[in-house]
Amino acid sequence: MSTQQRTFLGHPVGLYVLFFTEMWERFSYYGMRALLVLYMVDFFKWTQADASGIYKWYTSLVYLTPLLGGFLADRYLGNRMAIIIGAILMSIGHFLMAFEEIWIFYAALGFLIMGNGFFKPNMSVQVGRLYPQNDPRRDGAYTIFYMGINLGAFLSPIICGALKETPGLGYHWGFGAAGVGMVLGLLVYIFGLPFIKELPEDAVYEHPADEGGAEADKEDHVMTEKEAEKAPSAIPTLASVSPGFFVALGIATIILSPILWKFGLLAFDNLVALLIASGCSFFAAWILSKLSMAVRDRVLAIYILAVFVVFFWGAFEQAGNAMNVWADQTTNRYLTQEAPLPSPYPDAFVDVAEQGLWPTITSTLKNLVATNPASTASFQSINAAAIVAFAPIFAWLWVFLAKRRINVSIAVKMSIGVFFQGVAFALMIWAATYENQASTTALANLPEGFVLHKDLPELAGVANIEKPDILYFYDAPDFNEESDEAVAKHHSGELEETMIAHGGRLRWDASKQALEMTGVLNANHRDRILRATVPQTLVKEIWELTEKTHQAKKDAEANATGEFTVEYTLKDVPEGFDVKYFAGFDPKKFEYDEATNTFKVSMTLDDKEYKQILVAGADPVFRDAMNKLFVESSAFKVSSWWLLWFYVLCTLGELCLSPVGLSMVSKLAPKSFATMLMGMWLLTSFFGNFTAGLAGEHWEELEPTTYFFYVTLAMAGAAFVCFVISSRVTKMMHGVK
């Protein structure tokens, strides 16, 4: 059968339609991802652990739903309709992110998760279907396709980050820009559909005369799917028991996970993840039960390599989580001048209407090319820029080696990719040693709200606790409309646990009357620690004020007025109550009269405003000491060069693993399960992202050097094992290279 198509630069024209569609979709995804954790930590003022928990589930579920999307596409919808449905759902989700309300935030994430499930696997499969079986252009096609992904990923953090950094605009404008990108991707796909010509399943690649023709076919022959159905397995015993093994693994997970959760050895969300894993195990067994002989070997090879890809993504996806926080809080983002000392107070509120449209546009354009400081989000463009630079080299390299009969196996390529990822984190251990410096300030006594390491009941009897002593604090309660029980427990003995301050790097030396700290103190953790010192009376009053604004809004909506004003006079104002912490509030909607100690509020106060007001009432002596450490420790921020080379090394690993993996699945998967197995392959990103988020939940509990060391160790071990078994896995592929 002829496989001639209309081509451009040696590839089907449809590839370029998919290139630009995927480019805009990735523009939307990576623009949103670059802001997501920072949005939760800086805007909503959630803890790093809570933000990582949301990030963990969002970035994981966008790679779980492709399993459902792939199934519906294979059985009912077809690739094209599934892609259109997915693009529409994601467009809605991105635009919802432009709104502030918490429930809309969660709804937006839901739309994005479902939309990605329809979109992602079907795009990848369509690329493979543009080419006949055994076409050597496939690897190059997936690399070109991957360049489209990363062109979008390069542009979006810069643009969305610039909008976020522009005074008066902020996060919601950045999210809105991501929505515009998704709509553009949808339009490109719809208008480009006539150019996407998928080939029949039985189309076979015809060698041009200069490639050796029949002789090349004979030498490089790869089993077709029909031939593989009759060829003997390379691992007959293991292949025969593999369906039963996956069933047993799923059953064991279902039985053991709830037991571990019941005894407090497993968090509930981790229990859910393990139950999902058990479902995936049953699904994997079902697919294997429908296959036999060499075809089953090939699918098993996909499963085996998927394990190592989980390790890779678990480290790589720190980019949007822990490494994003590192860039924001620990990296000196001033590239061409000395960084000024930071202010301990929030930035002043900027009204776009009063500032004017042209100054806002000018400020945004400056932020697009700003180096002083570079936006935090822009650092995530480094990986994408490096891919665009290096992807053609890797595409040329694989073809160059193949023409000379030097084929680096898929498994070896992946082990190299995991190894590079480990080297990247080893580099960050070195970077963290420069941040790991001490600063000190005088502090005669600790205020209420703290406990020393040696005084914790669970650590009683621990010998040789060095001085100065590590600080733990009783965390102030988050605002919760449903119950104020947490307020009553604040500063009381009823609290079951304390939080470690600054990952154990904040200490107090009673003998020297000094507060000591190692590393850079970030503003979010500083404010959280300060809230522990707020008098209980003020906590209750600010809680009451916050509740009154919610009730006033409900009353205004019931009366169809929509507007309200709440006045509230503090009964017991603590010493040193500092109104400069209200600088970020809209002065038209939030006023505080220092003469009468009265709030006049025409907006709904949520958890983030409640927390900011509490900081104003923190113990003034301790707050001054923490602010001094905050300013002085900023000198320990590390150079941006560390992140540059970190992302370059990550990129080298990614190019050895990700496009190769997509191509491998398109070659090894039997046609009847092609999209479902692509969805299964994307599950490596589900578990990898979950692992990344799980690790990020402990970012503030560990010193950066320790955190980076653990990741490096895991990558080195995975790379070694993958390399050792690579020859066996290659045999299971039965000629696929």
The residue to which tokens 């450490």 are assigned = 629
Strands 450-452 and 469-473: antiparallel
Average pLDDT score over residue span 556-564: 82
Question: Sorting pLDDT into bands at 50, 70 and 90, what band is 229?
Answer: low
Instruction: Give the span between the Cα atoms of 472 and 483, in whole angstroms.
Output: 25
Select the highest-mean-pLDDT range: 62-66, 171-175, 286-290. Answer: 171-175
Question: Sorting pLDDT into bands at 50, 70 and 90, what band is 357?
Answer: confident
Confirm whether 234 is domain-assigned.
no
* pLDDT tens figures, 509-558: 988 999 999 999 988 889 999 999 999 889 889 999 999 999 999 888 88
What string of H, E and C letters represents the secondary structure of 213-261?
Answer: HHHHHHHCCCCCHHHHCCCCCCCHHHHHHHHHHHHHHHHHHHHHHHHHH
Select the highest-mean-pLDDT range: 466-475, 589-598, 653-662. Answer: 589-598
Question: Sorting pLDDT into bands at 50, 70 and 90, what band is 597?
Answer: very high
Please tell me whether residues 377 and 459 are part of one structural domain: no
Residue 664 confidence (pLDDT): 83
Among 182, 179, 160, 155, smallest CA distance to 171 is for: 160
Residue 1 confidence (pLDDT): 39
Residue 349 DSSP label = P
Q: Which helix (H) or strand (E) holds 509?
A: strand 506-509
Quote the pTM value.
Answer: 0.87
Please tell me whether residues 170 and 35 are part of one structural domain: yes
In degrees, rounded to 5, the angle at the alpha carbon of residue 673 between the alpha carbons of residues 415 and 675 is: 75
Question: Sorting pLDDT into bands at 50, 70 and 90, what band is 491?
Answer: low
Please tell me whether residues 714 and 578 are part of one structural domain: no
Q: How high is the mean pLDDT of the chain?
A: 84
Residue 230 confidence (pLDDT): 61
Residue 214 confidence (pLDDT): 45
Q: Which helix (H) or strand (E) holds 471?
A: strand 469-473
The distance between the two most distant Cα atoms of the chain, rounded to a whole number of Å, is 94
Rounded to 10 deg, the angle between the 13-38 and 171-192 helix axes is 170
The residue to which tokens 């709830």 are assigned = 258
* pLDDT tens figures, 12-50: 778 888 888 888 988 998 999 999 999 999 999 998 888
Confirm whether 269 is domain-assigned.
no
Of 501 and 392, more confident: 501
Residue 200 confidence (pLDDT): 59
User: In the listed set 636, 667, 686, which residue is the last one of a domain according to the structure?
Assistant: 636
Strands 598-601 and 566-569: antiparallel
Confirm whether 274 is domain-assigned.
no
Judge whether residue 217 has pLDDT over 50: no
Question: How many structural domains are present in the chain?
Answer: 2
User: In the listed set 570, 603, 636, which residue is the last one of a domain according to the structure?
Assistant: 636
Judge whether residue 136 has pLDDT over 70: no
Which tokens hold the place of 682?
């994307």
Of 523 and 5, more confident: 523
Of 264 and 580, more confident: 580
Residue 513 burial (CB < 10 Å; 0-12/13-18/19+)? exposed
Please tell me whether residues 576 and 677 are part of one structural domain: no
Please tell me whether residues 318 and 189 are part of one structural domain: yes
Please tell me whether residues 33 and 78 are part of one structural domain: yes
Residue 7 confidence (pLDDT): 65
CB within 8 A of 201, min separation 6: which ones?
Answer: 671
Average pLDDT score over residue span 168-177: 90
Please tell me whether residues 348 and 470 are part of one structural domain: no
Question: Sorting pLDDT into bands at 50, 70 and 90, what band is 99?
Answer: confident
Question: Sorting pLDDT into bands at 50, 70 and 90, what band is 222?
Answer: low
Confirm whether 244 is domain-assigned.
no
In degrees, rounded to 5, the angle at the alpha carbon of residue 643 between the alpha carbons of residues 155 and 339 is: 95
Instruction: Give the span between the Cα atoms of 11 and 141, in whole angstroms.
Output: 7
Residue 700 confidence (pLDDT): 84
Asked which of 73-77, 436-440, 699-703, 727-731 is least confident by mean pLDDT, the reply is: 73-77
Confirm whether 261 is domain-assigned.
no
The residue to which tokens 């329809």 are assigned = 118
How many CB atoms are located within 10 Å of the residue 522 CB?
A: 22
Q: Which amino acid is at 517?
A: M
User: In the listed set 612, 636, 660, which residue is the last one of a domain according to the structure?
Assistant: 636
Instruction: Give the span between the Cα atoms of 232 and 221, in whole angstroms.
Output: 17
Please tell me whether residues 549 and 425 are part of one structural domain: no
Residue 206 confidence (pLDDT): 60
Asked which of 62-66, 254-258, 275-279 is least confident by mean pLDDT, the reply is: 62-66
Instruction: Give the span between the Cα atoms of 306 and 414, in whole angstroms.
Output: 10
* pLDDT tens figures, 362-406: 888 888 887 888 899 999 999 989 988 887 788 788 778 777 777
Residue 500 confidence (pLDDT): 86
User: Which residues constitute the domain of residue 12?
Assistant: 7-199+225-229+292-433+638-732
Instruction: Give the span between the Cα atoms of 316 and 426, in whole angstroms.
Output: 13
Confirm whether 237 is domain-assigned.
no
The residue to which tokens 């692509």 are assigned = 678
Asked which of 177-191, 206-220, 468-482 is least confident by mean pLDDT, the reply is: 206-220
Instruction: Give the span between the Cα atoms of 154 and 174, in whole angstroms.
Output: 15
Average pLDDT score over residue span 193-197: 79
Confirm whether 363 is domain-assigned.
yes
Asked which of 73-87, 176-190, 269-283 is least confident by mean pLDDT, the reply is: 73-87
Among 527, 525, 520, smallest CA distance to 332 is for: 520
Which tokens hold the place of 209?
């005369």
Judge whether residue 323 has pLDDT over 80: yes
Residue 513 DSSP label = T
Judge whether residue 129 has pLDDT over 50: yes
54 half-sphere exposure, CB direction, 13 A CA radius: 20
Residue 114 confidence (pLDDT): 92
Judge whether residue 698 has pLDDT over 90: no
CB within 8 A of 350, min separation 6: which ones?
Answer: 167, 168
Please tell me whether residues 336 and 389 are part of one structural domain: yes
How many CB atoms are located within 10 Å of the residue 70 CB?
A: 29
* pLDDT tens figures, 418-444: 999 999 999 999 999 999 999 999 999
| C-alpha pair distances (Å), 191 with each of 17, 18, 20, 185, 186 | 9, 11, 12, 10, 9
Task: Answer whether the bond into residue 346 is a cis peptide, omega within 30°.
Answer: no
Residue 405 burial (CB < 10 Å; 0-12/13-18/19+)? exposed
Please tell me whether residues 588 and 649 are part of one structural domain: no
Please tell me whether residues 518 and 625 are part of one structural domain: yes
Instruction: Give the span between the Cα atoms of 301 and 279, in whole angstroms.
Output: 20
Confirm whether 243 is domain-assigned.
no
Rounded to 10 deg, the angle between the 48-61 and 13-38 helix axes is 160
Please tell me whether residues 349 and 427 are part of one structural domain: yes
Among 685, 681, 688, smallest CA distance to 665 is for: 681
User: What CATH number does residue 708 fall under?
Assistant: 1.20.1250.20
Question: Sorting pLDDT into bands at 50, 70 and 90, what band is 183?
Answer: very high
Judge whether residue 695 has pLDDT over 70: yes
